[in-house]
Structures are given as structure tokens and as C-alpha cells.
């Protein structure tokens, strides 16, 4: 494990360096298209070049590093995670996978390992979707599924995605050229912190992702009548915030009826023209619904829409329900996951399978390639929070597993 420990330390110091690249003075925030995001991309690109990769930044802002196989017509294995963050993020969500991938490729380049397939390392530009409320912009481009209509999406300041891409010196007309052809994909491997407490509770450093939950996200606007807080009697009000409050509690209680099969969150609430002496007239809130069971996901979503209509009808409030994003549950590839499971056992750990409630770029890639994912334990499962933490020994353990996995893949392809 000695070599892995030293390598884990280098990975950790790079993660720390990236964590200092933030659009805020305090904490870490690095959203798509920000100055900090561009700076981080250039740093990652230079590390890829130093590692001996052919590195470039594509039109959606993904940083890409290639180690080519000498075999003509060789397909491509992509190792990836993301470099964007949520607001006030932890350091490891995204960068851990990119920096571990960089270490693996650095070793292969350093050892001049002859490759039976190309390996491309990608730092995806937008997994969190914080700026444009649409996730996987980078991985959609790589998978060739980027819908041009997304270019018209606007951020909170009204700036369209199209303009942000142009401001980054890139061409929206060339986005399609950045895709890897469906036939050229060999597979996809992502390493990521678990972002949940299972590995921490079970005292296991790594886990194998067997599926990624599907998601339905919506923006809901409640429209009542703004009024004077001192003059309108309680039984004559159309208070949009009270309606939203009832909706939020309904979301919680309906999701609770499905026990551990679904999670539902209202994470954002905006009160128009908020003031202590004004009855709230309009509220916008978000709904984030996730389940590994597509049937349950749709059932709860429909129930919530019906319940919202009933609450609003009773309270005389108009509502608008807009779908923001939908992804189906994804099952990880059985044969790549079996290989990963063997790699975990070879490293001396129990091969525990987990379902990911968090979204990952693997979701977008699964449409064109077999995907697999390795989870790394994080402190108490805390994520999307500055307290997010991963221990060096777990990075070293995950690195050993990933190394076993990659060596086995190379061996198998050399045999065939
Ligand atoms: C991304 O981290 C998500 O699952 O929302
Ligand atoms: Mn995240
Ligand atoms: Mn992530």
C-alpha cells in the first residue's frame, strides 16, 4: 500500500489546490462559466499535460486528456468526474474522481504501458447544474445527446447558456464535434465520494454502484394575492406562502409513505417582493424527486401534482408546474461492475453494492456506453457541505482498487 499512500497524498494536495479556486472569497463555489471554473480548467489541463497526456478543453468546457493506444481502430475507455461545484461546496464532490483518474493515467504514461484501448480522462464542466438548472451539460456533449434548445436556457441574471459558451472562447456550432462516436466507446468508469452514510456506517472504504436513481425536478409557482398584513382578515386571504408551506409538508408526508424507496426535497423557495408587512402574493419553489424505481418515481410525481391541485383549489391559489429535468434510473453495466467487484476483493475489501441517490455524469453516458462507478467513503456521508471529507487511507484504498480494475481490463483486452 506504500506507493498508494504517497499517490493519495499527491491527489489530496491537488484537491486542496483546486478547492482554493472559488468564485467566492469564503468557501468553495465554482459554477459553470465562472472565472474560477475557467481557472480550474486551465490548472487541470496543465496537470494533464505534465502527466504526459494530450490535453485540451472542448467547446462545452470539459477538460480532456488522452492516452492513445497504438492499435488501429482501438476503442476508448473514459475515466471521468466533474470540476464544477454546488454553492458553498465540499472539496471532493467531483475533483476526487478527476484527480484519481489523473493519477492512474500518470502512472500508465510514466510506465509506458502499451494500451490495447485509448483512455480519455475527462473533467466534466457541469454536473451540478447550479447555474442553468440543467445537469450533465458536459457529459451530454461527450455522449452526443446535447439538445441545442439548452443553449437558450438563462441563468439568474438572464444570461443565456449560448453567451456563456461564446464568452469562454468556444463555438456552439462545434459542440457536436466534441462527442465520442457511439461505436468508439469501450466503457466509462467514474470514481466519486458516496455522498451518503452507508460506507461510513459499515466501516468499508469503497463500494460498487449498481444503479443510479432516476430524477424528476420541477419548478412550481403559487400565485395568490399580495395584500396588507394589517388589514386583510385571516379568512379573506390568498396567501401564496401558506399554500407553498402546505405543499412542502405534503411532499414530505407522501414521500415518507414510500419509506426508503423515494426521496423528495423542496430545496429552494423564493418569495416575490418579500416584506414583513406584506401577505406573500407569489412563491416559486423547486421539487427534487429521486428513486431507483422508475414506476414509483412516476407514481409519486403524479400524486404530488394531484395533491398540489387539491391544495391550491381549496386555498384559491393558482399554480404553474414546470418540468425542469427528468432522467430515468440507470443500471450499471454488469460485466464492468463484476470486474470492479473482483478488483475490490483483490484489494482485500468486501464488495458492497450500493444504489446512488445522487446524480452522476454516468447517467448521461449510459445512453451510449457501458458504465460503472466506484464509491469512496466520506466522513459521515456528509456532502454538498464544506464539511465534506475523505481520509487519505480511503483514497489510497480506492486507488488500489481502481488500479486492479484498470490492469485487469488491460490484461483482458490484450488477451482478446
Ligand atoms: C448532484 O450532485 C445531484 O445529485 O444533485
Ligand atoms: Mn454534487
Ligand atoms: Mn458529483
Q: How far is the CA of 229 from the centre of ligand 2 (A)?
A: 40
Owner of C-alpha cell 440543467: 134
| pLDDT at residue 256 is higher than 80 | yes
Lowest mean pLDDT among 29-38, 133-142, 334-343, 344-353: 133-142
The answer, yes or no, to whether residue 96 has pLDDT greater than 90, is yes
Pick the more confident residue, 333 or 415: 333
pLDDT of residue 30: 98
Task: Find out whether 168 and 38 touch, Cβ atoms under 8 Å.
Answer: yes
What is the rounded (10 degree) CA torsion for 79, 81, 82, 87? -170
Query: What's the gap in Å between 87 CA and the centre of ligand 3?
Result: 13
Ligand nearest to the CA of 129: 1
Ligand nearest to the CA of 384: 2
What tens digit of pLDDT does each residue of 50-63 get?
Answer: 999 999 999 999 99
Give the closest residue to 261 by CA, choosing from 303, 223, 306, 292: 292
**Parallel/antiparallel/unpaired status of strands 206-212 and 353-356:** parallel
pLDDT of 2: 59
Nearest ligand (C-alpha, residue 89): 2
Secondary structure of residue 344 in the 3-state scheme: helix
Query: pLDDT band at 77, cuts 50/70/90?
Result: very high
Ligand 1 pocket check: which of 268, 359, 378, 385 to mutate, most ligand atoms within 8 Å of Cβ? 359
Q: Which residue has the cell 475489501?
A: 349
Mean residue pLDDT across the chain: 97
Q: Could you give phi then psi for residue 377, rounded to 5 degrees?
A: -55, 140
Q: Give the pLDDT mean for 201-216.
A: 97
pLDDT of residue 408 exceeding 60, the answer is yes
Q: How many helices (H) does the chain have, and how many strands (E)?
A: 11, 16
pLDDT of residue 286: 97
> If DSSP codes are grouped into helix, strand and coil, which group holds residue 212?
strand
Residue in 399, 19, 339 with CA at minimum distance from that of residue 205: 399
pTM above 0.95, yes or no: no
**Ligand 3 center–CA 305 separation, angstroms:** 29
To 10 degrees, what angle do helices 294-315 and 240-257 make? 150
**Average pLDDT of the residues in 253-259:** 96
Q: Are 248 and 208 in contact (CB under 8 A)?
A: no
pLDDT computed for residue 259 by the predictor: 86
Cα gap 128→90, rounded to integer Å:
13
**For the chain, what percent of residues have pLDDT higher than 70?**
100
Average pLDDT over residues 305-326: 97
CA distance readout (Å), 159 to 33, 114, 166: 11, 46, 12
Instruction: Report the SS3 class of residue 338.
Output: helix
pLDDT in tens, 264-303: 999 999 999 999 999 999 999 999 999 999 999 999 999 9
Residues with CB under 6 A from ligand 1: 128, 358-359
Q: Which residues pair with 325 in a beta bridge?
A: 217
Q: Average of pLDDT values for 94-112?
A: 97
**79: Cβ–Cβ under 8 A, 6 or more apart, which residues?**
97, 101, 104, 105, 119, 120, 121, 122, 188, 189, 190, 191
Q: Which three cell numbers stand for residue 386?
A: 464544506
Report how far ligand 2's centroid is from the alpha carbon of 280 (Å). 32
Give the C-alpha separation, 256 to 392, whole Å: 36
- Which of 171, 116, 204 lies closest to 397, judged by CA? 204
Summarize pLDDT for 363-382 with one digit per residue, the tens.
999 999 999 999 999 999 99
pLDDT at 134: 82
- Which one of 137, 384, 388 would you pick to mutate in the ligand 1 pocket, going by the greatest count of ligand atoms within 8 A of its CB? 384
pLDDT band, very low/low/confident/very high, at 399 (cuts 50, 70, 90): very high
Amino acid at each position: 500500500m506504500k506507493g498508494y499512500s504517497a499517490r493519495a497524498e499527491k491527489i489530496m494536495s491537488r484537491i486542496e489546490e483546486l478547492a482554493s479556486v472559488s468564485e467566492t472569497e469564503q468557501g468553495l463555489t465554482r459554477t459553470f462559466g465562472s472565472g474560477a471554473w475557467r481557472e480550474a480548467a486551465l490548472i487541470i489541463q496543465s496537470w494533464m499535460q505534465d502527466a504526459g497526456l494530450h490535453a485540451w478543453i472542448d467547446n462545452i468546457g470539459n477538460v480532456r486528456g488522452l492516452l492513445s493506444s497504438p492499435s488501429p481502430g482501438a476503442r476508448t475507455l473514459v475515466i471521468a468526474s466533474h470540476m464544477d461545484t454546488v454553492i458553498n461546496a465540499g472539496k471532493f464532490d467531483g475533483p476526487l474522481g478527476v484527480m484519481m483518474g489523473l493519477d492512474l493515467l500518470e502512472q500508465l504514461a510514466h510506465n509506458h504501458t502499451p494500451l490495447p484501448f485509448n483512455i480519455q480522462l475527462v473533467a466534466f464542466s457541469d454536473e451540478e447544474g447550479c447555474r442553468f438548472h440543467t445537469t450533465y451539460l458536459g457529459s451530454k456533449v461527450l455522449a452526443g445527446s446535447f439538445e441545442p434548445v439548452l443553449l437558450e436556457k438563462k441563468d439568474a441574471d438572464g444570461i443565456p447558456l449560448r453567451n456563456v459558451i461564446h464568452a469562454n472562447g468556444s463555438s456552439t456550432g462545434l459542440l457536436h464535434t466534441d462527442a465520442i462516436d457511439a461505436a468508439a466507446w469501450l466503457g466509462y468508469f467514474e470514481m466519486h465520494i458516496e455522498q451518503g452514510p452507508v460506507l461510513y456506517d459499515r466501516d468499508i472504504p469503497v463500494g460498487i454502484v449498481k444503479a443510479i436513481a432516476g430524477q424528476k425536478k420541477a419548478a412550481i409557482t403559487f400565485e395568490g394575492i399580495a395584500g396588507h398584513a394589517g388589514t386583510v382578515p385571516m379568512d379573506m386571504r390568498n396567501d401564496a406562502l401558506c399554500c407553498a408551506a402546505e405543499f412542502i409538508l405534503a411532499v414530505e408526508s407522501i414521500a415518507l409513505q414510500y419509506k426508503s424507496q423515494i426521496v423528495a426535497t423542496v430545496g429552494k423557495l423564493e418569495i416575490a417582493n418579500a416584506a414583513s408587512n406584506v401577505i406573500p402574493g407569489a412563491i416559486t419553489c423547486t421539487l427534487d424527486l429521486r428513486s431507483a424505481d422508475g414506476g414509483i418515481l412516476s407514481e409519486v410525481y403524479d400524486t404530488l401534482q394531484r395533491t398540489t391541485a387539491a391544495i391550491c383549489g381549496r386555498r384559491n391559489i393558482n399554480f404553474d408546474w414546470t418540468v425542469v429535468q427528468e432522467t430515468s434510473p440507470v443500471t450499471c453495466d454488469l460485466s464492468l461492475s463484476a470486474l470492479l467487484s473482483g478488483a475490490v476483493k483483490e484489494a482485500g475489501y468486501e464488495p458492497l453494492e450500493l444504489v446512488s441517490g445522487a446524480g452522476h455524469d454516468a447517467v448521461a453516458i449510459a445512453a451510449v456506453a457501458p458504465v460503472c462507478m466506484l464509491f469512496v467513503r466520506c466522513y459521515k456521508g456528509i456532502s454538498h457541505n464544506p464539511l465534506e471529507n475523505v481520509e487519505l487511507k480511503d483514497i489510497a484504498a480506492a486507488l488500489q482498487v481502481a488500479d486492479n480494475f484498470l490492469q485487469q481490463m488491460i490484461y483482458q483486452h490484450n488477451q482478446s
